Amino acid sequence: MHHFMRFLVITALLMLMACDTGSPEAQGGPVAMRRLTEQQYHNAIADTFDSQILVAGRFEPDSRRLGLNAVGASLVSVTPSGFEQYEAMALYIVGQVTSPQHRQRLLRCQPQDAARADDDCSRLMLGQWGRSLFRRPLTQAELQSRTRIASETATASADFYAGLGLALSSLLVSPDFLFRIEMLEAAATTEQSEPLQLSSLSLATRLSYFLWNRGPDEALIAAAQRGELASKEGLKREIDRMLASVYLAGGVRAFFEDVFTFDQFTELSKDVARYPLFSSDIGVLAREQTLRYVVDHFVIQERDYPSLFTSRQLPMTAQLGPLYGLPVRSGQNWETLTLPTSYPRAGLLSQVSFSMLFAHPGRSSPTLRGVFMREALLCQTIPEAPADVDFTLFADDQQAEYKTARERLTQHATDGSCIKCHQFTDPIGLGLEVFDGIGKFRNTENGASIDTTGDLDGRSFANPIELGQAFARSPLVGACLVENLYRYAVGREEVNTERRLLRYLEVQFEQSGYHLTELLREIASSEGFRTATRGDGQLALPSGVKATNSVGKTPTVSMAPTTRRGESL
């Protein structure tokens, strides 16, 4: 009934939008402070200095909310030990930047005397680095205090680079760098406190992390400073430029990596006695294969979303070839294969990454695979298994009586507390059972033939290829992508004032032929993306670090001195 009602709503919107092509009004939800992810931190260092500057250290884990780390980023804090790690990373970066090996290339100026302070050179470099790291120009107070630190330290140590390095390290451990702090201002069209909109620089940052997964470049910061993002024309011009950038591939990659929960690959392990083809390198390549597939599909070929589930093109390396049973000509390089129609795989769901990740160390798991497909691709919530459920029968996958996963699940799911969820997840998860715990194709399990027939919400399928075709035809697949992408863009769950906007985006996505670039453009230019309401602005920061978020003002951030030291189914 819920799906039928959604269909009626979308149909009605299609009729209304035949005469109204404008995006609906939508007041965005609360702003927040979002901690940079590990990849975003790496990108910031590469953009501020260059790719030769290495980052070494341990990052604290992200927090997944509503299926996305991008949403959980506003809920995570930095522990004292985590802050020490940031300090250690900062010192390592500073050591490289100011070293004789790199300083000539990375510094736009050199001191008149390397044994003395040079305020002009320090001010120039700190202003440049701060603008990139903070994603905004430094205030006069911020620049003056750090220039003074550089001068005093250089004088005391008789080393200009020691002073500059200490001032740079203060930028690298600042909350203004480690967190994306969004600021609000009253809309230019009204003198009232509502509606509120993101400040131009905050909007620039939100845009760049949404489309590129990295901070704004100099052109975007300059456009924000000139007030161009406040007009529809100026905003459209920047969005078009960003969608045409080579950085778009990184943004698309980051979004799908988050939706697919591929951060779990860092802890993936398998029983090598059962799966001798598996290694940590194979796991890395399987993850990379799917992300390359997605970027090539959407960014290079500009294909539609449904065909992601049916395409027979697949990036491949020689190391993955044996897992797929395919010959690969190249050695260490990637090449794109076109799978023959007789091959038992096609599309996203047939790739080994998902079969590998959503399985147990020693066996496959139709339930884990079904849960992933329901939650990540259809945006449906599956409850956790009851704590007192006995998994013994299903876990014994080498018994004589129930040889296949389907037979074991049929017996296990007779429990009244289990059957409802299993009926929801297992039919589609069993459609991938011809792929074992690392994604290798098989026809039998324990000598018995594997049955992959099933049903996806009324669409029957006989094998993984037809399962992909069923997903390609499902109206929920496009709607779920819209929901996930909007949440990823704004870093939170949608609020009531945005629900009409989401329905509008679903319709526009369908009318565009399900092209991702058009959906990115619609979200980035929507009112919900640009506006916001007041949040509490509070976030748990390390001891001694404070930050406040005030409407229309630069965030106040202070930092106290720190002591430096040298299983289910």
SS (H, E, C) 18-30: CCCCCCCCCCCCE
In the numeric block, which tokens belong to residue 339? 């799978």
**Of 145, 138, 210, which Cα lies nearest the Cα of 176?**
138
> Which residue has 């004032």 as its token pair?
497
Which residues, in sequence order, are bridge partners of residue 196? 186, 532
What 3-state DSSP class applies to 418?
helix
Distance CA 562, CA 461 (A): 61
Contact 201, 224 (CB under 8 A): yes
Instruction: Give helix 516-525 / helix 475-490 axis angle, nearest 10°.
Output: 40
Q: What's the burial of 360, exposed, middle or buried (CB within 10 Å: 0-12/13-18/19+)? A: middle
Per DSSP bridges, beta strands 545-548 and 556-559 are: antiparallel
DSSP-derived secondary structure letter, 469: H
**pLDDT at site 446:** 86
Q: Which residues share a beta bridge with 335?
A: 316
SS3 79: coil
Euclidean distance between CA atoms 146 and 160, whole angstroms: 13
Instruction: Please state, in angstroms and rounded to a whole number, the distance separating the CA atoms of residues 254 and 351.
Output: 18
Contact at 8 Å (CB) between 143 and 163?
Answer: no
Predicted pLDDT at 420: 66
Q: How many CB atoms lie within 10 A of CB 423?
A: 10
Residue in the structure block whose two tokens are 């690969």: 328
β partners of residue 459: 456
Residue position matching structure tokens 């000139």: 226
| pLDDT value at residue 424 | 82
- Counting Cα atoms < 13 Å in the Cβ hemisphere of 393 gives 15
Number of Cβ within 10 Å of residue 477's Cβ equals 21
Give the Å distances, CA to CA, from 568 to 89, 409, 410.
Answer: 37, 13, 16
Provide the CB-side half-sphere exposure for 7 (13 A, CA): 8
DSSP letter at 114 equals T
Q: Which residues pair with 558 in a beta bridge?
A: 546
- Residue holding tokens 């939008």? 17
Residues 6+ apart with CB under 8 A from 226: none
The DSSP result for 99-115, as a single string, is STTTHHHH-S---S-TT
pTM: 0.89
Output the CA–CA distances (angstroms, integers) from residue 216 to 143, 296, 297, in the order listed.
20, 24, 25
Q: Where are the beta strands (DSSP E) in 173-253?
A: 179-181, 184-186, 196-198
Question: CA–CA separation, 542 vs 179, rounded Å?
Answer: 12
Q: Which among 378, 363, 462 is positioned nearest to 424, based on CA atoms?
A: 378
Q: Residue 407 CA to chain centroid, in angstroms?
A: 37
What pLDDT, on a 0 to 100 scale, did the predictor assign at position 391?
Answer: 56
Q: What is the mean pLDDT of each run of 10 residues along the chain (569 residues)?
A: 48 46 82 94 98 95 95 93 96 97 95 97 98 98 98 98 98 97 75 74 98 98 97 97 98 98 96 95 97 98 98 96 91 90 97 97 95 97 69 58 76 60 86 97 93 95 98 97 98 94 98 98 97 63 43 38 34
- Count of Cβ atoms closer than 10 Å to residue 40 Cβ: 19
Pair of tokens at residue 553: 């003002």
- Residue 494 to residue 501: CA distance in whole angstroms: 10
Q: Which residue matches tokens 């039928």? A: 4
Phi-psi region of 56 (alpha: psi -120 to 50; beta: other; left: phi over 0): beta
DSSP letter at 68 equals B
Q: If residue 531 lies in a helix (H) or strand (E), which one and from where to where? A: strand 531-532
Q: Tokens 């949040």 identify what position? A: 535
Distances (CA, A) of 7 to 10, 86, 328, 332: 5, 49, 45, 48
Burial environment of residue 332 by CB neighbours within 10 A (0 to 12, 13 to 18, 19 or more): exposed
- Distance CA(382)–CA(372), nearest Å, equals 9
Residue 283 tokens read as 């796991």
